[in-house]
Structures are given as C-alpha cells and as structure tokens.
Structure 1
Amino acid sequence: MVCQSNEELELLLEEAKQYTKNGKVADYIPALKKANPEDLSVAIYKADGTCYYAGCISKKITLQSISKVITLALALIECGEEYVFQKVGYEPTGDPFNSIVKLEMSNPSKPLNPMINAGALAVTHMIQGSSVDERLDRILDFVKKLSGNNEIEYSEEVAQSEFDTSHLNRALCYFMKQHGIINEDVEELLDLYTKQCSIEVNCLDLARIGIVFALDGKNPETNEQIMPPHVARICKTFMVTCGMYNASGEFAVRVGIPAKSGVSGGILGAVPNRFGIGLSGPALDDKGNSVAGLKLLELLANKYQLSMF
C-alpha cells in the first residue's frame, strides 16, 4: 500500500495550521514538552485501500488517550461485554478526563465511561496476563495487528516520565481499589497503563487503525475480521459520545464522526464504511485536544460531508 501526497489535503492542512498558535503542548508530562507546537499532519485511508496524506506523516507520536479505545476493544474481546460494563459505565461526562468527582458521586463508584482516565484504568486492569510485560505484549500485538505495522513499540522515556508524574491517576486507582473496581497492585497497573499510553505510532498507523473500526472490525487489505462487528460498534459509539474529552458534544455538532484524541496531539478518526483518519498536531486547547487538528477535521467534514448525523 502506497500513501500519496494530496494537493487538496495540503491546502486544507495549511488553512488549519494557522490555529496552532492558539494552543500549547502538554507540559504536565515532561517528555511531551519537546514536541513542536507548529507541527500538523494527516493521513486518510479509504475503504478501497487507497491512502492520501499531507504534512510529515512519518513523525511518531505516542497514543496517550487514543489507547483507551484500543484497550476497550481488546477487553471486550477477551472478557465480554457483560463483564466489562459491570466495572465501567456507558455515560458521557462533562468533567475533565482526569476528574475524580463522578467516582465519589456514583454508586457503586464505578467510572462513568471507558474514555475518562478512571474508566481507562479499570479497562486496562482487565487485560489478561500474568505480568506487566505479558499484558503489554498483548496490547502491543493488538496495535500491530490493527495497524499492519509490526515495528510498533513504546517509548520508555515517555512511559517513565508519565509514571513519575501520575499522581492523579494513582489517586483514581486507590479510590477504585477501595471500592472493588480494581484489585491489583496500583503501581503495577500504572506501570502497564503508562506504557500503553506511550506506544509510538505515526499518522498512517492511526489511519489504518481507524479504517478497521470504520469497517466494523475488518482489515480492508486482508479481509481479516480483527474484531467482532459489535465490538467495533461499541467502540465507535464511545468515540462519538466521549472520545474528545469534555468537548465531545461540540465535536459531534461541528464534525460528527467517531474520533478519539490524545494529549500528544493525536486524533484517531473512523468515518463509518468510508475512511480511517490519523492526525497529529501537538498544540492543544484547554480540553486537551489538538487545536489545529480539530479545525482540520471540521474543514474535512464540511468539504466531504463526513458527518454521520
């Protein structure tokens, strides 16, 4: 598969790129401070196997919260829908992604959904294996299978940086452990979670992951059913309702596609039955989403009628 530069896409990217000045990189994770806030790139992978890009799509970013939708799919495959949603809820939240507020307000203190940090930690807790390394290998193998890239690994530097500064996530874990949502050693769970978030991909990898979700779990190149259709459907639903943190409602109105963002500036998009989209723009808005990336997706959605609504 060859990904081709596209002049029309380049023009849209240049229009969106001016918005990078309105954001800033995630400086609360020291290793992410090094990103260039002016970077912006996008790859679009179509259902017929053709691919187009604009910007430097080979530059690697870490998955961060994009990994949440991937581990959710893996947990649903391994544990089943009933078990997963005994521990994590279905509902959107208007709170920041790392908030503890709803855990204290809900009964039996389970996270509202798998896309906030508390819910993602509970989902990662479900990944099977006898050690952190074995469980991480299961996640990595799944990412490699989804992307078709067997070279994908995680950044030890970013993982360590996140692990050392994960004080809020530790608090979430201890709260959930107190209430029986998780029952493993908190440091081991955080070790796995920070490594999961530090898996390195590029825009093309993201676009190829996106098309698998867009095609209800099927790889368009091999026709392999990588995940059951109902798992892809559940994941896309959460991407629509919760995928862009507490800006998901506005994103649904302005863009209207299933998408998941991460604080490295990455965005994974899955336009049902049509496209997978991978995007990288490290300058973030105050919600933690790529500020120029959001604008580029809005331009794409308007130009090509991508909204599912």
Structure 2
Amino acid sequence: MQNILNDIILSNKKCTANGKVASYIPELKNANIDDLGICVIDKDNNIYCAGDYKKKFTIQSISKPIILAMALMDNEWHHVFSKVGMEPSGDPFNSIMKLETNDTKKPCNPMINAGAIVTTALIKGKNLQEKEERMLSFFRKLAKNNSLEINKSIYESEKLTGDRNRAMGYLLKNDGFIEGDVEETLDLYFKQCSIEVDVVDLARIGLLFSNYGIDIETGERVISENISRMVKTFMVTCGMYDASGEFALRVGIPAKSGVGGGIMASVPRKMGIGVFGPALDEKGNSIGGLNILEDLSNKLELNIF
C-alpha cells in the first residue's frame, strides 16, 4: 500500500499546475498550489500516508456530511427532510437560483450551501456557544483528535465575504426552512467550514462512515447504521458538487470535497481516505485529489458499483 500511495502522489504532482486555489474566500488564496497528500486507514487500523500529508487546511464543505449526521441525530429524519431535499441539484454548490424557481423552494440536498445552512440550523443547543461546543466536540470525536480547532482567520474571512451565503440564509428564513436567528445559524456555518484538519483526520472520519458508524478501535457505536448509510448515499449522489455523476462513474466511492482542497472518501467495510490538494478545477474539486482517487480505485478495485 505504501508504495502504491508514493507512486500515485508522484505521478499526479504535475496536474496541480492545471488548477487554481480558491480565491473567493481571501484567506484561502494563501494555499500552496503544489501541495498534494493522502492518508489511507484500512479496516485493520493500518495507517498509510504519502506526500504533503502533514499540511493543515480548513475542512470547508467536507463538514456538510458530518453536520447532516449530527442534524439527523438531533431530529427525526422526516423533520430534517421536510426542510431539505434528497436530490442532486445539477447546479454549482453556491447556486441560489432554485431557492426561487423550484416548486417547493426547498434546498435540493444537504451537500450544497443552501441545504447545509438548513442542516446547521437544526443543530440543538440553547445558544450559539453551546451549539459550537457540541459541534466541535462531535468533529473531534469522529476524527479521534481532541486538538481540532476553528481557524479564526479563515472564519473571519468567510464571515466578512459571505454575502451570498447570507442571502441564502435570509431567503430560507423567509420561506420557513430556518427557525430561530439567521445570523446565529450563519455564524455556526462559517465556523464549521473553518475547522482545521489534515488528511489523517479526514481518513479517520471516512473510516467511521465506512464501518457504518462503529469505531473500529473501541467497538463504540458513534453514529447509527441508518444515518451512516444515508450520509454515504448523499456523498455518492451529491458529494462532489455538480461533478458527482462523473466521479461516480470514474471512481465509484462515496466522497465529499471542499474548496480548501480536501476530499474525504469512505469505502464501505474497507477504508477511509483523506486527500489534500488545493489546486481546484472549475467545479471546485481538487484536481490532484480526483486523479489520486481514480488511480487508487482502479489499482485496488474499490469501485462500489
């Protein structure tokens, strides 16, 4: 496995030159476009890393399946899906159009920004501080890393430039999909996206989902099997923005990407994978990360279909 990862990183290094780092959040422009790293943790808890695997980055949209799991743990599933849909959108992750044009005005799914803002609003807590503490504690538990923190400079940058997300929030509030204070929901959303991780953290979380919510080390059930299954299904159908269909054909692994350059993948009953490469394609996915996962899927026959 180690030799495979080393070779895959080496062979895909050159493709990072074809992408661009995210710039709509000013702090993300500071990323090194040449970085590329991977971590694989298998069902026997063997850990394999290669490339720039020690680099820290913010989780961004990879937080969405985790927050969805938390929302489903805090609420009945039919209540969650009365607020957000279950279908791919076919639009960019930050599109606002269908909040006005579809029949229900409900966000299409929890993996686009509008849907994720709704699921964030469903997190329980008597105030923003309690919700933030519960959220961060949940992320730490899934990653088995108590040192996870919110990157304050990224958070402040997101909050300062988050006008499009703010517009979505108020539309959703107006149409009854968000209860409570919109600014509080948006603040929590910006904070969840700004949690700093590395590829080992992502692989740990992916491994938990791959094992249907059971910690392989302790045997503890952290997430129910049903919720874990639902989350992975959304990762397959909607996890790679509007390139999810192509990714399913080429790679065939439940995965979720983020504009920080990370991708979390979960191969059922086999492994969790974390990838980092901040050079993004036009749809907001890591160019190097996509190629790495395709190569790995082909070499190890990981395609679930």
Query: What band does the TM-score fall into relative to the shorter chain?
Result: over 0.9
Rounded to whole Å, the distance in 2 between the matches of 1:242 and 1:94 is 9
- Structure 1 regions of 5+ residues with no counterpart? none
Q: Structure 1 residue 101: deviation in Å?
A: 1.3
- Of the three residues 41, 44, 62, the one matched with 2:40 is 44
Distance 1:45 1:174 in 2: 41
SS in 2 for 1:181: coil
> 2 CA distance for matches of 1:107 and 1:126?
23
Separation in structure 2 between the aligned mates of residue 138 and residue 286 of structure 1, nearest angstrom:
34
Q: CA deviation at 1:229?
A: 0.2
Corresponding residue to 1:75 among 67, 71, 76:
71
Aligned: 1:186 with 2:177: no
Q: Which residue in the other structure is 1:255 paired with?
A: 251
What is the DSSP-based 3-state SS (H/G/I as helix, E as strand, rest coil) of the residue aligned with 2:49?
Answer: strand
Q: In the TM superposition, what are the counterparts of 1:97-136 in structure 2 within 5 Å?
A: 97-136=93-132
The 3-state SS of whatever aligns with 2:15 is: helix
* Cα distance between partner residues in 1 of 2:26 and 2:198: 20
Find runs of 4+ consecutive structure 1 residues off by over 4 angstroms: none
The question of 1:273 aligning with 2:266 is answered no
1-structure distance, mates of 2:298, 2:176: 45
Q: Give the aligned residue type for 1:264.
A: G
Q: 5, 8, 12: which is aligned to 1:16? A: 12
Structure 1 residue 203 displacement after superposition: 0.5
The one of 65, 78, 86 equivalent to 1:90 is 86
Q: 1:108 touches 1:179 (CA, 8 Å); kept in 2?
A: no
Q: How many residues align?
A: 305
Compute the RMSD of aligned alpha carbons: 1.0
Structure 2 unaligned blocks of 5 or more: none
User: Post-superposition shift, 1:136?
Assistant: 1.2
The Cα offsets for residues 208-237 of structure 1, whole Å up to 9 and x where unpaired, read as: 000000010011111111100000000000
Q: Which of 283, 289, 293 is matched with 2:289 structurally?
A: 293
Counterpart-to-counterpart distance in 2, 1:104 and 1:31: 31
Partners of 2:276 and 2:264 in 1: how far apart? 9
Aligned-partner Cα distance in 1 for 2:230–2:241: 17
Q: 1:166 maps to what in 2?
A: 162
Whole-Å separation in 1 of the counterparts to 2:182 and 2:74: 22
1:150 is aligned to 2:146: yes
Amino acid at match of 2:290: L
SS at match of 1:253: helix
Shift of 1:16: 1.2
Kindly state the Cα deviation for residue 109 of structure 1 after the two structures are TM-superposed.
1.2
1:305, distance to aligned residue in structure 2 (A):
0.5
Report which stretch shifted further, 98-107 or 12-21.
98-107
TM-score, normalised on structure 2? 0.98
Identity %: 53
Q: CA deviation at 1:100?
A: 1.1
